[in-house]
Structure 1
Amino acid sequence: MASDTASPRRKLDPVTGKGERRRAPYRRRLRSRIIVSFVLLGFCLTTLFAFATNWTRARVENQLVEDVMNRNINEYAKRFAADPSRSPDLPVQQMYARLVRPDKFEALRQEQPDWYNLNDGIHGVSGVDEGGKPFSYKLAVRKTPDVWFFLAYDMTESIRGESQLNRALFFSVLVFSVLSLVLGWWSASKVMKPVSDLAARLRAYRGGTSEPEPLAPRFPDDEVGQLAQALDDYSARLTEVVQRDREFNADVSHELRTPLAVIRGATELLLTRPDLDPKVLQRLQRIQRAEQQCTDLIGALLLLSRNERGQGSSNVARVSEQLLDSHRAQLGGKPLELILEGNHDLVIDAPESALSVALGNLIGNAVKYSKEGAVRVRVGNNAVEVIDSGPGLSEEDAAKLFQRGYRGTHAGHSQGGGIGLSIVSRLCDLYGWQVNVRPGVERGVIATLTFSPA
């Protein structure tokens, strides 16, 4: 089974065209989202239930108390009407009854101004007494021209009970929220276990066999099983594509290396003849260099196709001199000087084929676009610079230079498919190198190839 790992999105660098890693936005894990959903559901439901319970209790209690007070104050008024000479007995304990005759109205105004101003009905009264203790009661009022009736029902104990109920409801909300958290964690573990097992099996696979073990038989026929079946189908198609790619690479390597080996053998045999004409010798040497470049390019492309690093070490100055010699033979009458400068002892951990392809493309572009002047290859301690005297670099070229198939604004009708610098970029990714192209001080372009530490 071949696996494809999703990488963070990349932002193109305006100079190199290579991807600059940008951190993906944080996303909460699915397990955490399930747990949070359970907690929120439990909290919201228990809070709503607590609110509904408290509201219902208050409404029912208030209705019951008002019904009782209405009945008792009516009964109180009837008893007074039956015998106005004496104060009627209080029909229900826990209530305080009072009647005020007309000659006591003014005294009531002075003593209880709140009661004096109340209209008929039931009113809620609350406050703090002289001792600093809170009180609350409901007051039923009946006013007639002959007498005023007041009936008070103490609600202090009821308010205390309401406070205790609220604390109990608050505690219940906390308890049920914790239970929801536990239930959510347990449910998430149960729900996510098949998905985690599937992910673990995918991570454990490293492509060691051409026929990977199917995933679907290990999972039940549910959504996870359907996902495993889809992954098996995708794996089969991807494995087939990879296998065809490997076979194609092997066939291409064999079919191309065979004629190149014939060309190399014939060229070396002809070069051993002592009576060669100088022009023929020059052409044979050019064929030999072209064969070597083609061999290096095939080797580098095969390494890129397999995403493998080749083994070996290379002297950067020696490879650069070989590349410059190859281009000197192709200059014709172009007034261009090719110069090698700097450190001749820099050795990197990479085969000459990979270095030749990467550095050869940079030197080839410099020679192609420089009509006159000089192309300098300057070898440093851990990098090599290719400095040309060409027309320079535009902003559009700088942004797209390393994209596959892109040809610069100065390419004109020159040969090339615009894939050379793309290959350089891929080789840099493979070996951990860095490539940078920037405009020169006055004119031309400076291409820098920086090697990774050994």
Structure 2
Amino acid sequence: MSLRYRIVAAYVLLTCAVCGCFAIVAFLALQAVEDRVIDQRLSQAAPGLIERYRQGLAITEPGEATLYHGRDIPLALTGLKPGVYDTVIGDSAHQALIVDDKGERYAIAQDDSDYERIKRSVYEALAVAVPACLLLAVLLGRITASRVIAPVTALADAVRKEDMTSELPSLRAGDEIGVLARAFAARTNALGTFLARERLFAGDVSHELRTPLTVILGAAELLQARLHGKDELLPIVERVRRTAADTADRIGALLLLSRAPESVDAPRIGLIPLIEQEMERHRPLLEGKPVELQFESSAEVHVFAQPELVGIAVGNLIRNACQFTEQGCVTVRLLVDALVVEDTGIGIPLAIRERLFERFVRGSADQLTGSGLGLAIVRRVADHLGWRVSVEDREGGGSRFIVLFSPAP
């Protein structure tokens, strides 16, 4: 229910309550007038009228009550017990008092047509006034709601623009909107400071780590050039060189990940070479295990993305599958719009699956290896690229990770 609707509803409910109170007061006032004025007047006039009747004096002066006696009592009043009654005599509404005095029955009637017309006019006025008040309440409610919501809407639009450099509206207002605007501004400034600090940290770490990595790469290449005749050492040096180069690529990917997606170029790349490279990079994890690493693809698939980001996501999925599969196979399957990595490992408990892509969450409570950041980085890369990643059980045991993406034409 919107705030505008609630404000209008409050106005309407308040108007209904006020109109209801006025209607009740008007009804009770009319009843009091009828009971205390007309009825009491008849009761007070009855003895004098009866005495004048007995003396033979006139009792039907204009504007006064009319006395009926014996057989002259109108048929509508015949047979009634003593008391006050509303009745119709002729074509007019009357207030009638039935009195027994000295064994004789008297009826005193007062024409109250004027009073009935007044009462009817009051009821008609209320019937017109109540709907008019309700319409007025709706109108005033909408006007008030628009005036109240306008600064809130302006504040929401300013926050939605995500422009941290412009000042939010209503910052200097002294009302609750001003308090809300200042709270938003303080929160925005805190977030901006945090994001700036995170970007600076990522840039500083990237710079500081790349320098020693460059030294390691240069040393490995130099050592590789001087090891002629020592072929048994060349694979070790090559592994050092490749690891240093991969680490430099990972640092570059993390630096890209710290930037806004719209500020990062997204070239058209093929996925098969990246997947095969990551599979070869993590194949040593399966040494000594009866586990087969398979790749299935019917055709090349292209996407718009930075290869470093795709590589870090695919690499983390393959590494997790290789680390926690003791026998069977790890299958990487490339589809037209999805990448599937499945294994025959221990699987993931249902209680952990909901939080699996959060930072520092491991796939098993007994799992001691890993930092719990790999799958969180996969989710972050997927969000950065506009992809979706999910996990489900594999038939026959194990896990299946699915990355959905939009292929490039």
Normalised to the residue count of structure 1, the TM-score between the two structures is 0.79
Distance 2:237 2:282 in 1: 15
Q: Would you say 1:56 and 2:16 are equivalent positions?
A: no
Q: 2:330 aligns with which of 375, 392, 417?
A: 375
1:272 offset after TM fit, Å? 4.0
Q: 1:235 to 1:319 in 2, by over 3 A?
A: closer
Q: 2:16 aligns with which of 38, 43, 51?
A: 43
Q: Would you say 1:425 and 2:379 are equivalent positions?
A: yes
Q: Would you say 1:176 and 2:133 are equivalent positions?
A: yes
Q: 2:320 aligns with which of 362, 365, 368?
A: 365
- Mapping 1:55-74, distance limit 5 Å: 55-74=28-47
Identity of matched residues, %: 30
Q: Would you say 1:239 and 2:239 are equivalent positions?
A: no
Conserved? CA contact 2:53–2:59, under 8 Å: no
Partner of 2:94: 137
Q: 1:35 to 1:360 in 2, by over 3 A?
A: same
- Mapping 1:69-218, distance limit 5 Å: 69-81=42-54, 83=55, 86=56, 88-93=58-63, 95-100=65-70, 112=75, 115-119=78-82, 121-125=83-87, 136-204=93-161, 206-207=163-164, 209=165, 212-213=166-167
Conserved? CA contact 2:270–2:300, under 8 Å: yes
**Residues 71-123 of structure 1: CA distance to partner in whole angstroms, max 9, x if unpaired?**
33221112134x2xx474324546432112xxx5xx97xx848533412x322
Distance 1:173 1:394 in 2: 64
Q: What is the letter of the counterpart of residue 268 of structure 1?
A: E
Which secondary structure state, in structure 1, belongs to the residue aligned with residue 19 of structure 2? helix
Q: 1:401 to 1:323 in 2, by over 3 A?
A: same
Q: What is the letter of the counterpart of residue 374 of structure 2?
A: G
Distance 1:369 1:203 in 2: 43
Partner of 1:447: 401
Q: What is the letter of the counterpart of residue 333 of structure 2?
A: R
Q: Would you say 1:408 and 2:363 are equivalent positions?
A: yes
Conserved? CA contact 2:76–2:88, under 8 Å: no
Q: Would you say 1:384 and 2:357 are equivalent positions?
A: no
1:171 offset after TM fit, Å? 0.8
Q: What is the letter of the counterpart of residue 78 of structure 2?
A: W
Distance 2:395 2:185 in 1: 57
Stretch moving more, 180-189 or 257-266: 180-189
Distance 2:226 2:295 in 1: 31
Q: 1:324 to 1:273 in 2, by over 3 A?
A: farther
Distance 1:251 1:87 in 2: 120
Conserved? CA contact 1:215–1:229, under 8 Å: no
**RMSD of aligned C-alpha atoms?**
3.0
Q: What is the letter of the counterpart of residue 186 of structure 1?
A: I
Stretch moving more, 346-355 or 333-342: 333-342
Distance 2:183 2:295 in 1: 57
Q: What is the letter of the counterpart of residue 307 of structure 2?
A: E
Distance 1:180 1:56 in 2: 26
Q: 2:2 aligns with which of 1, 24, 28?
A: 28
Which secondary structure state, in structure 1, belongs to the residue aligned with residue 391 of structure 2? strand
Distance 1:181 1:165 in 2: 24
Distance 1:235 1:375 in 2: 45
Q: What is the letter of the counterpart of residue 299 of structure 1?
A: G
Conserved? CA contact 1:194–1:219, under 8 Å: no
Q: 2:306 aligns with which of 329, 351, 355?
A: 351
Conserved? CA contact 2:346–2:397, under 8 Å: yes
Conserved? CA contact 1:72–1:92, under 8 Å: no
Partner of 2:267: 312
Which secondary structure state, in structure 2, belongs to the residue aligned with residue 402 of structure 1? coil
Partner of 2:177: 224
Which secondary structure state, in structure 1, belongs to the residue aligned with residue 7 of structure 2? helix
Q: What is the letter of the counterpart of residue 246 of structure 1?
A: R
Conserved? CA contact 2:85–2:95, under 8 Å: yes
Matched pairs, number: 406
Structure 2 runs not aligned, ≥5 long = none
Conserved? CA contact 1:431–1:452, under 8 Å: no
Which secondary structure state, in structure 1, belongs to the residue aligned with residue 389 of structure 2? strand
Distance 2:187 2:347 in 1: 47
Distance 2:277 2:251 in 1: 18
Conserved? CA contact 2:302–2:407, under 8 Å: no
Q: 1:364 to 1:276 in 2, by over 3 A?
A: farther
Distance 1:98 1:435 in 2: 99
Structure 1 runs not aligned, ≥5 long = 1-26
1:200 offset after TM fit, Å? 4.1
Conserved? CA contact 2:269–2:305, under 8 Å: yes
1:205 offset after TM fit, Å? 5.3
Conserved? CA contact 1:124–1:136, under 8 Å: yes
**Residues 411-431 of structure 1: CA distance to partner in whole angstroms, max 9, x if unpaired?**
644x21111111112211221
Q: What is the letter of the counterpart of residue 322 of structure 2?
A: V
Normalised to the residue count of structure 2, the TM-score between the two structures is 0.86
Distance 1:237 1:99 in 2: 96
Partner of 1:288: 241
1:448 offset after TM fit, Å? 2.5
**Residues 272-305 of structure 1: CA distance to partner in whole angstroms, max 9, x if unpaired?**
4561634422222222332233233323333333
